[in-house]
């Protein structure tokens, strides 16, 4: 019994005697996109960084779940990675909230199809079918639902139809490249007979020639023939993959997802990663924060404090500027340097060269009074 079978061993009863008001269907893209290497590596790059987000919740129980093990089968990293992968692959991500009296677990779901059933009393259900054919009916109030390209459908993110031609072109290019390489090395030469020979003898002579000379034991690399036939080698032309065309398709796939190819290859600068964070990771974090908060009944936020994309020089410069003002604590400073926290590290240090504005005003006022008294003494007043 797998995890989902154990979780869904009791099916939610079908709504009975209720007039259906809303129906909307969703079918996941049949795996073709995620089966493409360029698309998968791009989604993987996004998901790996999205999985670094850190959850904070007003409810300590929920924060504990989202900080370590959201369910018995995975870590928070797994949950966020799987959620981001589904979000960018099918434009819809579903997470089941398991409740007793309080929230007890979060399970990411990857249904093959989803049907939304609205009832006259305002209750909305999701009817999900999984790849193994199992169906479950769940209250939509217990489903965290993240949507991308949310425009044409009332309840779902739109499909990836604009992506299909790109994936198809990439697949055709890969198939053509493989076939061309295979054909280029398939025929290595022709045995040209100098006299008429029956087909059976031609095949026998060819098989014997291949057996004698086209094997690893022929270390000398020399073949011998007599006057019956001659071996004419074919030109072995190396097939060059059209690199420009392949790169253009990969760039378009990355552009569709909204990221630079440099993020995928991990060759980004600080500014390039900052742009990637602001354009992809931050909106994803905001959407998760709002949806988790709405469905769980308390504020939950996902922050990027673990996305350390600045260089060591930038971090040191930042600490040099901020520490004297007491803006960050010792442990916050150590976190910037990827160091563990220390006891009593929540203290803030501040340079004595800086004072608060009201103390500065009082200090200047006292200095002014001293100068006036000294002036009066000098003039004999």
pLDDT over threshold 90, residue 277: yes
Q: In degrees rounded to 5, what are phi and psi of residue 188?
A: -100, -10
Residue 192: pLDDT band (50, 70, 90) is confident
How far is it, in rounded angstroms, from Cα 35 to Cα 31? 6
Quick check: 38 and 253 in contact, CB under 8 A?
A: yes
For residue 29, the model assigns a pLDDT of 38
Quick check: 266 and 306 in contact, CB under 8 A?
A: no
pLDDT tens, residue by residue, 91-132:
999 999 999 889 999 999 999 889 888 888 888 999 999 988
How far is it, in rounded angstroms, from Cα 213 to Cα 219? 9
pLDDT over threshold 50, residue 237: yes
**Residue 65: CA count within 13 A, CB half-sphere:** 23
Cβ atoms within 10 Å, residue 44: 16
For residue 72, the model assigns a pLDDT of 94
> What average pLDDT does this structure show over 32-60?
92
Residue 367, judged by CB atoms within 10 A of its CB (0-12, 13-18, 19+), counts as exposed
Out of 143-147, 177-181, 194-198, pick the least confident.
177-181
For residue 217, the model assigns a pLDDT of 64
Out of 122-126, 131-135, 339-343, pick the least confident.
339-343
Predicted structure pTM score? 0.72
Out of 75-89, 122-136, 333-347, pick the least confident.
333-347
Out of 15-29, 34-48, 272-286, pick the least confident.
15-29
Residue 239: pLDDT band (50, 70, 90) is low
Number of H helices and number of E strands within the chain?
13, 11
- Give the helix ranges, DSSP H, for the chain: 3-7, 37-50, 60-67, 76-90, 164-184, 199-213, 243-257, 261-264, 270-276, 282-296, 312-322, 330-336, 357-379
Out of 53-62, 172-181, 355-364, pick the least confident.
355-364
pLDDT over threshold 80, residue 278: yes
Cβ atoms within 10 Å, residue 224: 7
| β-bridge partners, 23 | 117
For residue 159, the model assigns a pLDDT of 86
Out of 32-46, 196-210, 261-275, 354-368, pick the least confident.
354-368
pLDDT tens, residue by residue, 240-273:
666 788 888 899 999 999 999 999 999 998 889 9
For residue 309, the model assigns a pLDDT of 67
For residue 82, the model assigns a pLDDT of 97
Q: To the nearest whole number, what is the mean pLDDT of the chain?
A: 80
Ranked by mean pLDDT, the top range of 161-170, 194-203, 335-344 is 161-170
Residue 224: pLDDT band (50, 70, 90) is low
How far is it, in rounded angstroms, from Cα 351 to Cα 262? 41
């Amino acid at each position: 019994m797998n995890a989902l079978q154990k979780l869904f061993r009791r099916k939610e009863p079908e709504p009975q005697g209720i007039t259906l008001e809303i129906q909307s269907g969703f079918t996941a893209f049949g795996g073709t996109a995620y089966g493409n290497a360029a698309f998968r590596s791009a989604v993987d790059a996004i998901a790996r960084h999205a999985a670094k987000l850190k959850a904070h919740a007003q409810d300590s129980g929920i924060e504990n779940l989202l900080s370590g093990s959201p369910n018995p089968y995975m870590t928070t990293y797994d949950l966020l990675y799987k959620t981001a992968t589904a979000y960018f692959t099918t434009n819809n991500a579903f997470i089941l909230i398991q409740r007793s009296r309080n929230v007890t677990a979060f399970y990411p779901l990857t249904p093959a199809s989803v049907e939304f059933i609205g009832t006259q009393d305002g209750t909305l259900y999701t009817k999900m079918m999984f790849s193994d054919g199992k169906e479950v009916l769940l209250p939509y109030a217990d489903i965290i639902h993240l949507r991308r390209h949310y425009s044409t459908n009332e309840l779902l993110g739109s499909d990836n139809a604009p992506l299909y031609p790109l994936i198809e072109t990439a697949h055709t290019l890969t198939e053509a490249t493989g076939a061309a390489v295979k054909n280029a090395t398939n025929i290595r030469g022709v045995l040209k007979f100098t006299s008429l020979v029956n087909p059976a003898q031609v095949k026998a002579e060819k098989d014997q020639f291949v057996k004698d000379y086209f094997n690893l034991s022929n270390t000398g690399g020399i073949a011998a023939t007599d006057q019956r036939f001659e071996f004419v080698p074919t030109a072995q032309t190396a097939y060059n993959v059209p690199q420009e065309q392949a790169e253009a398709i990969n760039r378009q796939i990355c552009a569709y997802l909204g990221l630079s190819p440099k993020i995928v290859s991990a060759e980004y600068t600080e500014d390039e990663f900052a742009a990637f964070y602001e354009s992809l990771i931050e909106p994803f974090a905001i959407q998760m924060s709002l949806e988790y908060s709405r469905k769980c009944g308390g504020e939950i936020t996902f922050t990027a404090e673990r996305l350390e994309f600045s260089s060591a020089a930038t971090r040191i410069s930042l600490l040099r500027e901020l520490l004297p003002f007491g803006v960050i604590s010792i442990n916050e400073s150590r976190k910037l340097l990827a160091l563990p926290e220390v006891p009593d590290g929540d203290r803030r240090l501040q340079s004595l060269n800086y004072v608060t504005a009201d103390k500065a005003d009082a200090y200047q006022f006292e200095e002014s009074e001293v100068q006036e008294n000294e002036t009066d003494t000098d003039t004999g007043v």
